[in-house]
Structure 1
Amino acid sequence: MGQAAGTLVIGGGVVGKACALALRRAGETVLALDPQGPSRPASYGNAGHIAVEQVEPLASPAALTSAFGRLFPLGGPLDFRLADIAAWGPWAARFVQASTPAGAAHGRQALKSLLQEALPAWRRLTASLDRPDLLVERGHLVVWESPETARAGLEAWRVADIGQARVSPLSDPLARQVRQWIAAPVAGGAQFENTGQVRDPALVLGLLDDAFTALGGQRRTGRAVQLSVVGRRIEVLLEDGQRLTPERVLVAGGVGSGALLRDLGHVAPVIAERGYHLEGGADHWGDLPPVVFEDRSLILTRFGDRLRAASFVEFGRESSPPDPRKWARLRRHLAELGVRMEGPVAEWMGARPTLPDYLPAIGASRRADNLYYAFGHQHLGLTLAAVTGELVAALMGGATPAVDLTPFDLDRFARGRDLRKRNAA
């Protein structure tokens, strides 16, 4: 029987790394277990956007109404892998159940409570790394290519709850800058303030690792394949057959968190919501903040001398092969926009961990005395990583977290199951 003194953090994405660092800074002895699979985590491949404006939940009547028109075969970003229907079918049923007016209102308030702390937490984290330059607070832009979508899009953002972000029509100087770099028409746009981006997601991940190691945190490459309860405490079985008996366990393993927690009787309906990007040289792109081409569901972000184009919401199994049609669609969008990437262009696909109500799971398990979790951050993993680390450190340290974690309790899904059983009876 192997030992893992102190806290074992399972997960190698930005949420897991931020939590491991926060726990180590709080004085915990921490071992970070990073699977380091063949593909980099979703937190590496995202658009780098700190999306504090995304208060409106994606589980809502509006999302259900618009879903058909956003399907990939119709030119949209939304796709469901037919071969993986056994994985996403039950999740989709739960998503529909969550997408009620009451569910959307609950989700909005819950997300707002987290998002209002997101930028302050990132400022604290980057300052603690002695790298405040990692956080770039220039806002972001949204543009539309037709007068109709421009009018409708700007009005939708004006009435949406965007928390502490601020939105205004795209100024003429910024509109001229965007038009300078694309060939497609820009019929209208919006500029957001009090949002931001990270300078480079890969750099952020590396610096979190460096800071953790410099503070005496231990890292191990490996994969947890099973959690077991022995005397109300968690034992962890690794892929190589070794068992660890840590004092405490934090499950922050993205999509893989679901299988680990289901072994213990948790209802953890997390799905792989896969995204794609292309990345190449940025010689033919200006020094702009992130630009969202909303008609195409495409975001372009510059990271130094590299330009990244990211898109798509593809539901399937995390392990299913990538769909090359997605990269081909991205290339077509770039060609139609007149955007060039220099040198070799890298292709990437990664899986966002998404729960049916589009709220993360952050809390303490009732199945064991030493088990905690932080996963399911969907499109907001990078945005919420810093604040999640702070909340988890407070929770596991016995303090009162700065945000009420009740809406993020994983047992909310078990309560829904039990209610359905009572109604059926």
Structure 2
Amino acid sequence: MHQVTTVYERIDPGSGPLHVGHDPQPALAGSALVIGGGIVGLCSALRLRQLGLRTTLIDPMALPSGASYGNAGHIAVEQVEPLASWATIRSAPRRLFAFGGALDVRDPLASAPWMARFVHAASPSGFHAGREALRGLLDRALPAWHALVGELQRPDLLRSDGHVVLWESGRSARLRRDVWMSADIGSASVRDLDRGELDEFAGLLRQRPAGGVRFAGTGQVADPTRMLQALREAFDQAGGESVQGCVRGIAVEGGRAVAILDDGQRLSADLVLVAAGVASGELMASIGPRPPLIAERGYHLQWRQHGWPEDMPPVVFEDRSMIVTRFDGGLRAAGFVEFATNARLPADPRKWVALRSHVDALGLPTSANADEWFGARPTLPDYLPAIGRSMCASNLLYAFGHQHLGLTLAPVTSEIVSALAIGLEPMVSLAPFDLQRFQRSTGARK
């Protein structure tokens, strides 16, 4: 691991702040500290380094093992309609894990304030505003991914051949097809699977699907691990520096943010970016109001040995709330929406058992042994990310809370971060993503 001495100043406790440069305006920033080495943090650190900023990336792990690694790999540009909606609320009871569904709440009492904010955000006006805000990001998501892999000279890391949604019952096929055909799916398109395509799935599965649709204009990463490795290598080759450590808090000294590590080191830079996933809530709470961030945990099983077709795009088995993706490193089945206010709660092994039962019931061609994973998506009640400049410190930016869309939105988020870093106007309005929206909404309800 590199020893960093040029990107930031080391500050002895009690000695007062030391900063690189002469308190520059954002456009003149010379150094950057990125807290969080997930996909959003990595993309942002690379962009900041490409701008010429002396950039340090700090994360507890040498390579991410959270949601940036464990996701389904889907570039979900069709998810324009936010999950904070009355449709989600109406469907919640029948989707509960206790009744065989994929939705679970580990600590209901502690989660109640977040749930109340979710209901508030699901109002018709909130849903409409959220949809327009997400559209502005998602329309740019796949072009941003193509630009990124082009710069990395790694087009093999991205596949743009859409995805499939299948239904096992005739009733769900009729109902859910109508939902998707009328949904706002942004820049994506959708069509019915033809007879030949259904025949192909009939040969792969235990029973013929009752129906299905195919999306175009969406994509997937070829393998999350290889993508993360490529980004880290590009960052290192560009002259970025890395510190393996845990930031336990942020302090404001002289109006500027300082990161405090577990070992007591205090790190300062002209620009500090909080992109630490679910840990971002605690970090931001150390200097201001706590963002209403919850850990939305997911689970996956992955088989290194399997018989799934090499050219198959991601397949969503919507009756089971499960997505199956073939990566270079194996076949992954992912699912579950498990809310927890404490991201450190142990895994619920019943979720892996349920995933295995779904795989067996479908007859997917997998081996007996599978790698198990669970991790937390950082989710805000309105299902919009938090991206912007903090009002608590002049040099503090934030980019977290991307829920299921962290992988999808990482490159476009990094473009927004780089614009903020050099004082340019971002390509979309950041008002819907400003953390102050939660203070405003709280005031409105009082």
TM-score by length of 1: 0.96
Kindly indicate whether residue 210 of structure 2 is the aligned counterpart of residue 202 of structure 1: no
- Cα distance in 2 for partners of 1:79, 1:173 equals 37
Structure 2 counterpart of 1:76, one-letter code:
G
Equivalent pair of 2:223/2:329 in contact (CA under 8 Å): no
State the shift of 1:245 in Å. 1.8
Kindly indicate whether residue 189 of structure 2 is the aligned counterpart of residue 189 of structure 1: no
Partner of 1:106: 129
Kindly indicate whether residue 327 of structure 2 is the aligned counterpart of residue 303 of structure 1: yes
Q: 1:236 aligns with which of 259, 262, 278?
A: 259
Equivalent pair of 1:267/1:413 in contact (CA under 8 Å): no
Partner of 2:25: none
State the shift of 1:37 in Å. 8.7
Structure 2 counterpart of 1:191, one-letter code:
R
Partner of 2:300: 277
- Cα distance in 1 for partners of 2:305, 2:238 equals 36
Partner of 2:423: 398
Q: 1:335 aligns with which of 351, 356, 360?
A: 360
Q: 1:7 aligns with which of 32, 36, 48?
A: 32
Q: 2:237 aligns with which of 214, 235, 250?
A: 214
Equivalent pair of 2:201/2:208 in contact (CA under 8 Å): no
Q: 1:78 aligns with which of 103, 106, 124?
A: 103
Q: 1:266 aligns with which of 289, 293, 311?
A: 289
- Cα distance in 2 for partners of 1:42, 1:18 equals 15
State the shift of 1:283 in Å. 2.9
Equivalent pair of 2:323/2:334 in contact (CA under 8 Å): yes
- Cα distance in 2 for partners of 1:106, 1:141 equals 28
Instruction: Show CA shifts across 1:365-401 (max 9, x none).
Output: 1111000000000000000001011111011111111
Partner of 1:122: 145
State the shift of 1:77 in Å. 0.6
State the shift of 1:171 in Å. 1.9
Give SS of 1:330's match.
helix
Kindly indicate whether residue 173 of structure 2 is the aligned counterpart of residue 150 of structure 1: yes
Equivalent pair of 1:227/1:237 in contact (CA under 8 Å): yes
Equivalent pair of 2:304/2:329 in contact (CA under 8 Å): yes
Structure 2 counterpart of 1:252, one-letter code:
A
Question: Cα 1:198–1:163, aligned 2, differ >3 Å: closer, same or farther?
Answer: same
State the shift of 1:19 in Å. 0.5
Q: 1:167 aligns with which of 162, 165, 190?
A: 190
Structure 2 counterpart of 1:400, one-letter code:
E
Partner of 1:223: 246
Q: 1:41 aligns with which of 56, 66, 69?
A: 66
State the shift of 1:172 in Å. 2.1
Instruction: Show CA shifts across 1:322-348 (max 9, x none).
Output: 000000000000010011323631000
Question: Cα 1:242–1:201, aligned 2, differ >3 Å: closer, same or farther?
Answer: same
Instruction: Show CA shifts across 1:279-307 (max 9, x none).
Output: 00353212310000000000000012510
- Cα distance in 2 for partners of 1:93, 1:228 equals 30
Equivalent pair of 2:38/2:64 in contact (CA under 8 Å): no
Q: 1:134 aligns with which of 157, 168, 173?
A: 157
- Cα distance in 2 for partners of 1:21, 1:305 equals 25
Between 341-350 and 365-374, the greater mean CA deviation after superposition: 341-350
Using the aligned pairs only, state the percent identity: 52
RMSD: 1.5
Give SS of 1:329's match.
helix
Give SS of 1:89's match.
helix
Between 228-237 and 345-354, the greater mean CA deviation after superposition: 228-237
Q: 1:387 aligns with which of 397, 412, 415?
A: 412
